[in-house]
A and B are shown apart, each in its own frame.
Chain A
Amino acid sequence: MSSNSRKLDEIRAGRSELENHYIDELVGGRISRRQFVRKGAVIGMSSSLIGVILSACGGANSSSSASSTGSATSAASGTPKQGGTLRLAQQAPAAAINPLTIADAGGLNMLAQTGEFLVFDNNLLLKLQPMLATSWTPSASGAVWTFKLRPNVKFHNGQAMTAKDVVYTFKQLSDPKLASNALSAFTGVLTPAGVTMVDSMTVAFHLEAPNGNFPYLVSSDNYNAIIVPDGTDFGKWQSTFIGTGPFTLKSYTQNVGATFLANPNHWAGKPYLDGSAFTFYTSQPPQILALQGSQVDGIVQFTAQGAQSLLNSSTYNVIKLKSANHRELSMRNDQAPFTDARVRQAVALSFGRPEMITALLLGAGQLGNDSPFGPRFPSTDTTVPQRVQDLTKAKQLLTAAGHPHGFSAPLVTEQYEEILALAQVMKADLAKVGITANLKVETQTQYYGKDTYGNSDWLDSTMSLVDYGDRGAPNVYLESPLTSNGTWNAAHFKNKTYDNLVKQYVAALDLATQKQLAGKIETLLLAETPIVVPYFVDGLTATTQRVHGVNPTAISAIYLNKAYMS
C-alpha cells in the first residue's frame, strides 16, 4: 500500500487542480470507481492514466465493465474474425445527408459511418473516450476548453487532419446565420468567434459561460459535429461522405440504402469488416420482419412496442442502453388549477410508473423522478427519494387545494412512438383521483406548430405531453424547458432559485459539486412539480447471434469499427 501511495503522489505531482480534486474524491471514497472513470474522462484524463490511478488506489481497473448495458450486449467474445459485410436495417434518413442540417435518427447514423468526432460518448460504458482529440482540459473557470488533436489522422481523400479543419467545422456549426442543427446545443454556449486555433494540433473553445459538460457538445452526442475538411461545402457532402472514419462511402441512394467499405488507412487500423450495407425502411415492422427473414443481420434501433418477438427471443442479441430519452408532461404553472403546487403533485402521485414501463416499454425503461436527472447521467443524485404512486395522498392534496371532486383539463400530445398509449394510461390513472384529462392527439407538425409561445400547442396547452431525445449531458433539458427564460418552457415555470441552481450546475466542473447541485434541483422539482417525467426509454438495438462488437448509441447511431461476424 505504501508503494501505491507513493505512486499516487508521483501521479498527483503532474496533474491539474481539477484532476487532483477527483483523485481526492476517489481516495476519500466520495465517488465510486466507475464515477471516477466517467468523470475523469469528461475532464480529459486518458484511459491509461485513469487505469494507473485506479490501480494505485488498489484493485483492478474496472473501467472496461459494461454491466450497465443491461441484459445482453454484443461485446466482443472470442477472437474477432476478419471479413464479411454486415447488413443492417435502419430508419430511412428524412432529408439530405448534410452534416450541418441533419436532425433525424436515420440521417445521423449515416454521418456516424464515415465521420468522427473529437470525443466519443460510449453509451455502452456511459463514458467519454478520445476519438479525434487525444486529450482535453478546461481552464480553471471552465470557460475555455482546450483540445489536443490526434496526430496522423487522414481524411478519406488522403489529406491530413489538422486544427484548421476542426476550427472550420465548429465555426460553421455554431454560426447563427447558417441552417445549423447544432445551434440547438451551441446557442448561448459557443459562437464562431470562440473557436480558435492554438497551434496546428490544438484547438481552444472560448465559451460564452463556464460549462462543465462542454466535452459532450463536441462528442458523438452532438451528432452534427463530425470533423470535415476545411472549406467543405456541406450541401455537397452527400456525394462524398468525406470524413476520417473507419469506413468510406461506396454508394448512397435516397430512400433505398447505403453501402460502405473498410478504410485501410484508418488511424486505428483497418476494421474487421470488409464493409457494411444499410437498408432504409420507413417503419419498424418491416425491419423486424427483415431480421426474422434473415434479410439483414441487425436493426440499428427499434422501439419496444411491436417488437415483442425480438425482446422475448433468445435468437437475437438485444442491446439495451440506458438513455436520457424521456417523456415530459408539463402543466401550465400559470393557469388554474395548476397554479397550485399541490395539484401538480397530485397529478404526479397518481401515476403508476413501474406499470407504465412494463406495459408500454415491455420493461425496457428506467423510472423517472419528475426531473431530467436519470440513470444515464453520472451527476444524478440517486439518494433523492423516488416518487411512487399514492392515490390517497393525491386525493388529500386535491381536497386541500380545493378540488375534492377533481376537475377536468385538456391534455394535448403528439403521435410519436408509445406516447399515445402513455397519454391513455395517464388519463386512466388521473381518473382514479377524480381528474378528467381530455385527450387531444395531434401530428407532430400540428403539435409543435411554430415552436414559439402563442404559436405552438406543445408550448401553449394546459397539459402537454412531449418527448425529449437522448443527450449525454442534462444541460439542455434543465435549461430550455424549465428556466424562466427557457425557449421550450411548456410548463411556464418561473423560479429564481431553480434558475440559479441550474446556472451553478452548468458551470460546475467537478462531479461532487454537480451531484450536490443535482440533488438540490431534483428536490426542488419534486416539491414544485412543474413537470412529470414518468420514465426514461432504453435505447434498443438487435442483431443476430453472429454479430459481435457493435457499439450503438441511444440516439440511434451504430459504430462498427470493432464489429465482426462469427
Chain B
Amino acid sequence: MAIFILKRIGLALITLWILSVIVFLAGQVLPGDPGRFVLGPLAAPSAVHALDHTFGTDRSVPTQYWSWISHFVQGDMGKSYTYQSAVAPIVIKALGYSLKLALFVFVIVVPLGIAGGVWAALAAGKPRDRIISVIGASSTVIPELVSGIILIVVFGIALNVLPISATAPPGAGLPTQLYHLILPAIPLVLILFGYIMQMARAGTIEALNSDYARTAILKGLPRRTVIWRHILRNSLLPTITVVATQVGYLIGGLVIVETLFHYQGVGSLIVTAATGRDFPMLEAGILVIGVVFMVATLVADILYSLLNPRIRYQAAE
C-alpha cells in the first residue's frame, strides 16, 4: 500500500510540473502584456515599458519561467504582477473559501445522492424510481446561472430570508458562514445530485442482480443486512469515483457561482489572473487546484481499495 501511494505521489509531481509548463506556455499565447493591463489601453507606451520592466515581464521566456519555478520549489509562490503583493496569502485565502463551499456542498449532496440512488434502485422500474430519476436528470442540466438567479430573486430579494452574498461579514462564526453559503450551495447540489444519484442507482441495481446478492437473499439473510453489508458496499464503488472527479470542478470551476454570489474562490481568481496575464497568480492558482484534484483522486483510490479487496490484493502483490 505504501509503495502504491508513493508511486502515485511521484506521478502527481511529474504531472504538476508538466501542468506548470503548459500553463506558462499557454500564458505566452494570450494577447496583451501585464503592464498594458494595469495601465489601461490608453497609457503612454513609455509607462507600459517601465511597468513591464518592474514586473520583469520584459525578460526572455525561459528566464521568466526559471525565475518563477526556482522560487516556487522553495515554497515561494512569487509576487502577483497586477496586485504587487505576495501570491501565497491571496491563493491560500481563496482556496480556503473554495474548500469551505466544496465541503459544504459535499456534506449535503453525497448522502442525498446516495440515498436517492439506492432508494430509487430498490424500486427499479416503479413510479418512485421514475420520479427520482427524472428529478436527478432534470436538476443536472439546470445551469448554475439560471438556478442561481432564480434562488437570489426568490429567497434573497422577494422573501428576503437568505443572504445573497456568499461571503459572511468579517469575524463571523461558523454558523453564520454556513448560513451565507446556503444559497450558493443549492445550484451546485442540484447539478451534482443527478450524477451521484445515477451512479449510486446503477451500482445498486447491478449489485442487486449479482450472484452474491441472490445467494445472500436465498440463504435467508434479512433484507436490511443484505442491503447494508453486500449491496451498498459494492454499489458505492463507482460513486466514489464520480465524487472524486467532481472535486476539481467544485474547487476551480465555480466561476459563475462565485461571481453571482460574490465569493472569492479560486475559480474567479484564476480567471482574473488569466485576463490580466498575472502569470505567478495563474500558475499558483492552477497548481493549487491540481494538487487538490490529485489528493482527491488519491484518497478515492485508497477508499476504493479499502472497499474492494481485489484492488487491495493487487496492490500488495
Contact = CB atoms under 8 A, between A and B. Distances in A.
Interface of A: 92, 94-96, 98, 101, 103-104, 176-181, 183-184, 187, 235, 238, 251, 253-256, 279, 281-283, 285-286, 289-290, 292-295, 443-446, 448-452, 458, 488
Contact of B259 (A178, A279, A283): A283
Contacts of B157: 289, 292-293
B48 A179 contact: yes
Closest 5 A/B residue pairs (Cβ): A103-B40, A96-B84, A179-B51, A448-B41, A445-B32
B152 to A, nearest CB: 5
22 contacts: A95-B82, A96-B85, A101-B38, A101-B47, A177-B50, A178-B50, A179-B39, A183-B46, A183-B47, A253-B93, A255-B94, A255-B264, A279-B165, A281-B262, A282-B259, A283-B259, A286-B164, A290-B164, A293-B157, A293-B165, A444-B41, A445-B36
A179 B262 contact: no
A312 to B, nearest CB: 15
Interface stretch (B105-113, B268-276, B301-309): B268-276
Interface in B28-57: 31-32, 35-48, 50-51, 54
B160 interface: yes
Interface in B162-185: 163-165, 167, 170
B49 to A, nearest CB: 8
A34 to B, nearest CB: 31
A181 B84 contact: no
Contacts of A285: 260
A94 B259 contact: no
B164 A254 contact: no
Residue of A92, A94, A452 with highest tally of chain B CB at under 10 A: A94
Nearest to B94: A255
A18 B93 CA distance: 58
A286 B41 contact: no
A238 B90 CA distance: 15
Contact of A103 (B43, B94, B163): B43
A176 B85 contact: no
Nearest to A183: B44
A74 B46 CA distance: 41
A283 B148 CA distance: 15
A104 B275 CA distance: 14
B82 to A, nearest CB: 4
Contacts of B152: 289, 293
Contacts of A179: 35, 39, 47-48, 50-51, 54
Contacts of A238: 84-85
A211 to B, nearest CB: 18
Contacts of A289: 152, 156-157, 164
Given A98-B84, A281-B262, A282-B259, A178 B41 contact: no
B31 A446 contact: yes
B46 A95 contact: no
B83 interface: yes
B293 interface: no
A504 B276 CA distance: 40
B260 A96 contact: no
A181 B41 CA distance: 11
A96 B45 CA distance: 19
Nearest to B165: A295
A315 to B, nearest CB: 11
Contacts of A444: 41
A295 B50 contact: no
Nearest to A177: B50
Interface in B262-288: 262, 264, 268-269, 272, 276
A442 to B, nearest CB: 10
A294 B51 CA distance: 40
B145 to A, nearest CB: 10
Nearest to A445: B32
Contacts of B193: none
A286 B84 CA distance: 27
A176 B51 CA distance: 12
A103 B38 contact: yes
Given A179-B51, A285-B260, A101 B83 contact: no
B261 interface: yes
